[in-house]
Amino acid sequence: MEIIDEPIKGLKLLKPKVFGDHRGYFFESYNKKTFESVGINDEFVQDNQSFSQKNVLRGLHFQTDEFAQAKLVRVISGSVYDVALDIRKGSPTYGKTFGVELNATNQYQFYVPVGFAHGFVTLEDNTVFAYKCSNYYSPGHEGGIMYNDPDLNIDWKVDNPILSEKDRENEVFKLFESPFEYEEK
């Protein structure tokens, strides 16, 4: 597995070693020991999967307090543009985003630690998105930031994405008071 530390501290892009043969392919999507060796020490307690048609945008989401979540995300079929927003107060990159295309061909995995809001838009129909979370779902601890906030200026690569009702009412970044603190490691 190749690992790339992205320009925003804490974010990691993982490129697994995929073994292809005449039957198809095989790769390890999670191996505790290997992931710990690259600094991903979270105990993942929940696996999620979502299915979307093209142009669906989910985000930018996070959970707070004792339900804050690190996420390890990937695409099983189809493709997405995946975005993490740094919401750690005091971070040198507070308010900055990093985006990467994840798809069923590159098989990349993207590690998003606690202190980031996360979202993605699907670039193909029938996209299956899967992720591990380091904490359980808690609707009372959910937060969301508007995907198209002018202060964030994220190039989502699509126009007029399909949103949930909830995501139409996410917070404006300027008024958002982050509960996360940046920790120098």
Ligand X SMILES: Cc1cn([C@H]2C[C@H](O)[C@@H](COP(=O)(O)OP(=O)(O)O[C@H]3O[C@@H](C)C(=O)[C@@H](O)[C@H]3O)O2)c(=O)[nH]c1=O
Could you list the active site residues?
A: 61, 131
Amino acid code (one letter) for 70: A
| The only residue of 50, 53, 105, 148 in contact with ligand X, by rule CB under 6 A | 50
Task: Give the x/- contact pattern for ligand X in 8-47, rule: CB under 6 A.
Answer: ----------------------------------------
Q: Is 51 in the site for ligand X (CB under 6 A)?
A: no
Around Cβ 3, how many Cβ atoms within 10 Å?
Answer: 17
Contacts (CB under 6 A) with ligand X, residues 71-130: 71, 118-120
CB 117 within 8 A of CB 61: yes
Q: Is 132 in the site for ligand X (CB under 6 A)?
A: no
> Shortest Cβ distance from residue 156 to ligand X (Å)?
13
| The only residue of 12, 58, 88, 132 in contact with ligand X, by rule CB under 6 A | 58
> Shortest Cβ distance from residue 82 to ligand X (Å)?
9
- CA separation, residue 34 to residues 1, 4, 28, 40, 69 (Å): 8, 14, 10, 9, 20
Q: How far apart are CA 115 and CA 35, in angstroms?
A: 19
Q: What are the tokens at 4?
A: 């790339």
| The only residue of 61, 74, 88, 132 in contact with ligand X, by rule CB under 6 A | 61
CA atoms within 13 A on the CB side of 123: 13
166 vs 174, beta carbon nearer ligand X? 166
Give the helix, strand, coil percentages of the chain, each rounded to 5.
10, 45, 45
> Shortest Cβ distance from residue 23 to ligand X (Å)?
32
Q: How far apart are CA 166 and CA 51, in angstroms?
A: 17
Q: How many residues bind ligand X (CB under 6 A)?
A: 12
Task: Name every residue whose Cβ is closer than 8 Å to that of residue 168 and which is 6 or more positions away in sequence.
Answer: none
> Shortest Cβ distance from residue 37 to ligand X (Å)?
25
Residues that bind ligand X (CB under 6 A): 48, 50, 58-59, 61, 71, 118-120, 137, 164, 166
